[in-house]
Amino acid sequence: MAEALRVGIAGLGTVGASVARVLRDKAAELTRQCGRDIVVSAVSARDPKRDRGVDLNAAKWFDDPVKMAQAAEIDVFVELIGGDEGPAFAAVKTALEAGRHVVTANKALLAKHGVALAEIAEKKGVLLNYEAAVAGGIPVIKTMREAMAGNSVTRVFGILNGTCNYILTRMEAEGISFDACLKDAQRLGYAEADPTFDIEGHDTAHKLSILTSLAFGTKIAANDIYMEGISNITQADIRAAGDLGYRIKLLGVAQRTESGIEQRVHPTMVPTASVIAQVHGVINAVAIETDILGELLLSGPGAGGNATASAVIGDIADIAKSRPGFQHGPVFGRPARELKPYKKAQMRSHAGGYFIRLTVHDRIGVFAAIAKRMADNDISLESIVQHAISGEAAAQKTVILVTHETTEAAVRKAVDGITKDGHLTDKPQVIRIERAG
């Protein structure tokens, strides 16, 4: 049998401790699958005394993950610390430069330094595997990088943040407010104490930027993503969406268009009957549309210790099965040096259907004025409905419009016009509609 693969794990938190536990519990099975043993030979975290729920005494302890990254005791450096700079970046870079394979679950790191790190890995002939960085346990990287050779991707989109999907699912199912759902999600451990990163779309954007690079062979451009979070979604939107045959999801979407590549993260209406609309709670899903295959949808657990460990261990097993001297495939599907600059499509030219919810004064002429603004901007309407508002707000009405395909620029101009007309009593709500099978 080949020599054992020696793994150093940096970070022994939710994911790191799970990886160590599964490597121990499934050691015999992994040896059968990989043709060699996989042993945890080194570990690093901040607190050497903390109980990790798994016996790590046989592994050498390192206070400094950067030292571990180049230690003679390891063949693979597994980075499970997190963060786009600091020890995670320093240690991954050091490991690659020292000719060690790297496995990481760190989307923030890849979104910022992925291409530079891939260049080092490819130069050194080592693997940089990152399955767990996008959609946790769902094997989307492998699917796109390996199983879809020859396919040209036209669009990739998905539910990439479990916290947001959990909140939107409960808002719809229980009719409770965004704030109440968020508090509950925090109490149950589905949302961080500071939820901004998840709720405002940053986490989805990091994952999307990696998928975009794989899909279109472009350099990662995480800072160039149009982003809107879910904190403005109200019960009125969820109910109106339901009445119209839609469900609201926070989607990350990357799409090739005539003017470049669109990368956007925003609340989106998808048809209630579509497959992605059936993805509830903390579950993630990724849809990939290609010229040969058509549309593929993968769904499953996007976070949590075991689900994420599953993807990390799959990456480690691939390294165990690889042989020295074997030419590894490029990290982002094409050689890092050949990744093209990302040509951003302007959000103003985004084409699609729109849901617009307006709260207006209940007076004569308002409805006609809204319809005129739409017509002036060549927006054709699929439906326009008004509802009286009862109780204290009886002097107001809700007007809900659904447009046929139009552009973002036209919708913004029309809504600005309606706002200037002075008919609105509240901020207008605009939600994009996404085509989904």
Ligand X SMILES: NC(=O)c1ccc[n+]([C@@H]2O[C@H](COP(=O)([O-])OP(=O)(O)OC[C@H]3O[C@@H](n4cnc5c(N)ncnc54)[C@H](OP(=O)(O)O)[C@@H]3O)[C@@H](O)[C@H]2O)c1
Binding residues for ligand X (CB under 6 A)? 10-16, 44-47, 50, 65, 80-82, 87, 105-107, 132, 136, 303-304, 308
Least distance CB 55 / ligand X (angstroms): 16
**Could you tell me where the beta strands, DSSP code E, fall in 153-259?**
153-159, 226-227, 246-257
Contact 244, 355 (CB under 8 A): yes
67 is catalytic: no
Residue 16 or 229 having the CB closest to ligand X: 16
How many Cβ atoms are within 10 Å of 234's Cβ, its own excluded?
A: 13
Locus of tokens 């207008």: 428
Cβ neighbours of 43 (radius 10 Å) = 26
Q: Which is nearer to ligand X, 10 or 233 (CB)?
A: 10
- Indicate which residue of 93, 107, 112, 207 is catalytic: 207
* Minimum distance of ligand X from residue 84's CB (angstroms): 9
In this complex, which beta carbon is closest to ligand X, that of residue 207 or of residue 256? 207
The secondary structure of 358-411 as a DSSP string is EEEE--TTHHHHHHHHHHHTTPPEEEEEEEE--GGGTTEEEEEEEESSEEHHHH
List for the chain the helix, strand, coil content (%; round to 5): 40, 25, 35
163, 190 Cβ separation under 8 angstroms = yes
Question: Parallel, antiparallel, or unpaired for β 351-361 and 396-403?
Answer: antiparallel
**CB nearer ligand X, residue 11 or residue 353:** 11
CB nearer to ligand X: give 308 or 359: 308
CB of 166 to ligand X, least distance (A): 13
Q: State the nearest-atom distance from the C-beta of 230 to ligand X, in Å.
A: 19
Least Å from the CB of residue 134 to ligand X: 9
The nearer residue to ligand X, 20 or 34, going by C-beta atoms, is 20
In 10 A of CB 88, how many CB atoms?
22
Q: How far is the CB of 238 from ligand X (least distance, A)?
A: 26
In this structure, are residues 162 and 284 in contact, taking their beta carbons and an 8 Å threshold? Answer: yes
Please tell me what DSSP assigns to residue 365: T
Which residues lie across from 406 on neighbouring strands?
A: 352
Phi, psi angles (nearest 5°) of residue 397: -135, 155
Of the candidates 319, 333, 306, which has an alpha carbon nearest to the alpha carbon of residue 146? Answer: 333
Half-sphere exposure of 244 (CA within 13 A, CB side): 27
Which amino acid is located at 289 in the chain? E
Nearer to ligand X, 136 or 229 (CB): 136
* Residue whose CB is less far from ligand X, 91 or 360: 91
List Cβ neighbours of 164 (8 Å cut-off, separation of 6 or more): 198, 199, 201, 204, 229, 230, 250
CA distance between the termini of the chain: 48
With contact defined as beta carbons under 8 Å apart, do 409 and 334 qualify?
A: no
The amino acid occupying position 110 is L
Q: How far is the CB of 386 from ligand X (least distance, A)?
A: 44
CA-based nearest residue to 312, from 106, 131, 115, 148: 131
- Name the residue number minimizing CB distance to ligand X: 13
- Which secondary-structure segment (H or E) carries 161? none
Closest contact distance (angstroms) between CB of 320 and ligand X is: 21
Catalytic site positions: 207
